[in-house]
Structure 1
């Protein structure tokens, strides 16, 4: 009898945790991803803001499972799923059969019906996104150094972040420190300390997932870094060289999007019911209604926590779901009782504001300031893969903390005029 074949689409936190959880089970596993690496997304903004190098937060998938001969990795793009034939359809016309399928395909940027804004306001989900943002930011300073028109120079030195969630807050703080500290003495015609960083949030406050007191602290901490926080003003237009929010038009050379996400097209592949964000409405055990052989986890799944609220799209939730899917598969193969419904255990919310402040909400205790920042850093280092990466990131952070110098501020992959939406065009 052929071994049970488990196909996992997506090598993110949920997908990898599923594969790890299946260690020792009588299965063969195929991982399919359109990139060859696993990405530690919580630190992606640090690549975008020249704090870390790409190699410090990403690992080749093949390397991670080099000692697991039952695991096969395919670099491919999925275009659909044939539920009747139990096959994953690839973009090159090939297909991969499965006995059990785990969809952990993550999410992408959502522009609330204005997909044309993506050209001017890139989001942050991949290494390519991060290096594009880093290039745009650093190029803006280089163009400002040569610009003789004062209005255009000010626009180039104005950075707008749309969305006041953790990603937006972390980006705003990191950009402000990059401009006001790291680059302070690097230019001769411009003063980087005059850089404007504007964080725009449509809602009444930033970090809406945190308590009001932590949200207020984060706002004040950003203002101390020189960030202008604008709340209650939804963006109505993003274009080359400016953004419109509320009744204000702001000239800017760089717009970054951190306001919303849309699930991958997995619901379309499966012809399954989905919520407004495109996430598959799964059964309590994370399977697709009518198809117990298909699991959907992570940002691709719509599932409720014990308190009735949606499970957040964060790494710990995806890992817990991956572990639950693996446990269910193993129980089925062993002929035992399934673990039952998935129960999410919230371990806390964390967000950093620059290099000396953070907010943490564990529910039973709330922390802010430098102590929260140290806990935030230790937690992220702990979840990195491999001793070398932990040491490298820790040393990079220590060096920046002591000197303010960031060694990863390289302009790569393209020329300034290739950037769409650039005021240089």
Structure 2
């Protein structure tokens, strides 16, 4: 069925899939363009993903990094926000199918912008997700917060030294920016915020391990900054294990294969996965219908104008697009979304005046650099050929992320949360629920109960 409430017009129809950096910036750029925009996303919010680790470690609330998309665009009269998960794009008939609560809706388009992003990749071992959640959604962050704090709570009640040791061992898989930030914040949470708040355990004895199959920390940022980050983490007490490939993950720990081929075991109740990404499966859907291809991570190989071969009205931006020289970071999505929106803007205006649109200029990415926080008052930054770390890099990181947060209220709320955390040692978001801590376990139990009930019914009949 078509979307109820949608008003049929003769205007150019632009459908945007995804409410992340690429999709939202494309929609906002088209604000004053004579088009009808339908933004379809499987969540009702715009997620500022770079700060998810701060939600997971109790620094800020989820609302501060995930303002409602509908409210962001409420004054943009040519945009309609639709909730639903896109399951199929029909390139021949120019329609998009999305599903909401079991109902399938079909939305026609003249121009299509696909900015569906990427999820966590477990490199073919998806069963790891149950025991080592990733860091790609609000659900992931809240569950991790529950697991991290829940581990301390269980350790407080345990009289078994070996079990306490397992509960207080935290393993972060992946030494990229997210892994570095997560490991540093778990260590600070244990050493500063939780210090002195338990009677049976000492939180400062928590053992945080950061491991990666790569030979260096922060490989994309170069050897100099990687060594700076590594030195700072080790000074804080984080154990760095490199050239260590994870071969298995279960409820009680992980199995690791070292460079020399030896296999060892790390007992750990709480694991965090930040080792890889996998683009939306919509990439494979496009490849099956067109001449485009996808890489190993599922990213779509696009033309220089970010369109797909044979379909100049279909664009792919952000983490879903494979563009040489463009990293899978927020800036790539922001610039790509704005660039594609301007192409549509120019071509719609040209046709409205009976003119032929000008040839498209190829997309040019402007590298604004990359940054990663390591701890309170310490970060590393790379801006062009300039590399620096320490307090100045940390201030630059704070300022840059504050600028890109959407909405005045979210900026103020985040700034206040940062002040509470960074000027003292307290954190304002340490509330956890049983559902957050054990959601996947509960779902697994419900599935077992449902399966058992079905078997009982069959036996009775």
TM-score higher than 0.5: yes
CA distance in 2, matches of 1:2, 1:15: 23
Of 50, 63, 83 in structure 1, the residue corresponding to residue 71 of structure 2 is: 63
Query: Is residue 420–residue 428 contact of structure 2 (8 Å, CA) maintained in 1?
Result: no
CA distance in 1, matches of 2:62, 2:120: 20
CA distance in 1, matches of 2:144, 2:218: 22
Pair 1:396-2:407 in alignment = no
Which position in structure 1 is the counterpart of 2:111? 100
CA gap 1:61/1:83 in 2 versus in 1, 3 angstroms: same
Which position in structure 2 is the counterpart of 1:256? 272
Name the structure with the higher helix share: 2
Give TM-score scaled by structure 2 length. Answer: 0.88
CA gap 1:344/1:34 in 2 versus in 1, 3 angstroms: same
Alignment of 1:188-203 (within 5 A): 188-203=199-214
CA gap 1:20/1:60 in 2 versus in 1, 3 angstroms: same
Which position in structure 1 is the counterpart of 2:379? 358
CA distance in 1, matches of 2:209, 2:191: 14
Which position in structure 2 is the counterpart of 1:384? 405
CA distance in 1, matches of 2:441, 2:369: 38
Shift of 1:93: 2.2
Pair 1:327-2:342 in alignment = yes
CA gap 1:361/1:415 in 2 versus in 1, 3 angstroms: closer
Shift of 1:418: 5.0
Which position in structure 2 is the counterpart of 1:53? 61
Query: Is residue 143–residue 436 contact of structure 2 (8 Å, CA) maintained in 1?
Result: no
**CA deviation vs aligned residue, 1:48-90 (integer Å, no higher than 9, x gap):** 1111011111111110111111100101111101111111012
CA distance in 1, matches of 2:438, 2:421: 31
SS at match of 1:255: strand
Of 295, 319, 333 in structure 2, the residue corresponding to residue 318 of structure 1 is: 333
For structure 2, list consecutive stretches of 5 or more residues without a partner in the other structure: 1-8, 351-356, 443-461
Shift of 1:420: 3.5
How many residues are matched? 416
Which position in structure 2 is the counterpart of 1:289? 309
Alignment of 1:267-286 (within 5 A): 267-270=283-286, 271=288, 272-286=292-306
Of 24, 45, 51 in structure 2, the residue corresponding to residue 43 of structure 1 is: 51
CA distance in 1, matches of 2:436, 2:38: 38
Query: Is residue 57–residue 389 contact of structure 1 (8 Å, CA) maintained in 2?
Result: yes
Shift of 1:364: 2.9
Shift of 1:393: 1.3
For structure 1, list consecutive stretches of 5 or more residues without a partner in the other structure: 306-310
Of 173, 178, 186 in structure 2, the residue corresponding to residue 167 of structure 1 is: 178
SS at match of 2:220: coil
Which position in structure 2 is the counterpart of 1:367? 388
**CA deviation vs aligned residue, 1:94-113 (integer Å, no higher than 9, x gap):** 20011111100000011111
Query: Is residue 144–residue 437 contact of structure 2 (8 Å, CA) maintained in 1?
Result: no
